[in-house]
Amino acid sequence: MFKIKSLVVRDLLLKIAPYFGYIGELLNLQDKQPIFIIGTGRCGTSLLTEILKTHPDITVFPGEKNNLWHPNLYPTEKNKIKSPPIEIDPKAFTQISVNSWSNNHSKTIKRMFNGFHLMTGKRKVFIVKSAMISFMMPKIMTIYPNAKFIHLYRYAPSVIESYFKKNFGIYANYKYTKEEYYIACAKYWNDCILNIEQDKNTLSLTEKGAYFEFSYENLCEDPESLLQVLSTYLDLKYDKFDYDLSTIKTTNYKVKDTSKDKKLSELINHEIYPAMKLKGYIS
């Protein structure tokens, strides 16, 4: 079994993983059905995967491999096909991306993930994380019919502010004022939450036992109780996690107070209201 101890080793494993996946095909090995962590991004999925990595029966695929999911559109500033950034129009971005896949790209995805899982010891649970697949759940189910999903969501203002700090002004071909980009991020958060909810219902994921969701706030407030329930969903023993849960602290307090700009605050609140209500952040 390989152990990932450095970025050099990780990058090497990622380069040769598709070849192991191809060997797995030749040997008629059964495809591993991953569990996909989805969400808006900037919502705590990195913290979640760091916790999950400490369980001996879990393999977590390193990084998000967005160029695998969106080979012609990622990174956005170097995309081969004209498309809006995902946070500007996630549905259009996703549709354009999937439509540009080669005929055998689904097989390329499976070879990457199956090969990596084979190389790292074929552990019971295989986790794949990417915020950029939250609008392609139906497509994922055509590749992995028995896939499961974990949806992690977070208080909208915290996500919006984090997105703004990370991405405002980075797209050379898309010029936005600060207000315009704040509103775009707010709309993206809302659309992502509602789209995941719709796909969950359309695909009957809850009825299939293939969907589990919780908030970043729940994870930070009572990580032990949350992990116990998550362990049941993953069919794993809770007491095998080896993460210092006492170190988990919310960073929501860092969110900028946009209420001082009344107009901007009203516009943001208008965009996020449906999903904020759905997730119980407002009554």
Residue pair 55/236 in contact (Cβ under 8 Å)? The answer is yes
pLDDT at 253: 81
The torsion defined by the Cα of 64, 136, 218 and 47, in degrees rounded to 10, comes to 0
| Stated pTM of the model | 0.94
pLDDT tens-digit readout, 230-279: 999 999 999 999 999 999 999 998 777 666 788 999 999 999 999 999 99
More confident residue, 174 or 51: 51
pLDDT tens-digit readout, 194-237: 999 999 999 999 999 999 999 999 999 999 999 999 999 999 99
pLDDT tens-digit readout, 141-198: 999 999 999 999 999 999 999 999 999 998 877 889 999 999 999 999 999 999 999 9
CATH topology of domain 7-278: Rossmann fold (3.40.50)
pLDDT tens-digit readout, 77-134: 778 798 999 999 999 999 999 999 999 999 999 999 999 999 988 899 999 999 999 9
Q: Which residues touch 39 (CB under 8 Å, ≥6 apart)?
A: 45, 131, 134, 151, 152, 153, 154, 192, 196
Tell me: pLDDT of 4 over 70.
no
Question: pLDDT band at 1, cuts 50/70/90?
Answer: very low
Average per-residue pLDDT for the chain: 93
Q: Which residues touch 7 (CB under 8 Å, ≥6 apart)?
A: none
Tell me: pLDDT of 76 over 90.
no
Domain ranges of the chain: 7-278
Distance CA 124, CA 118 (A): 11
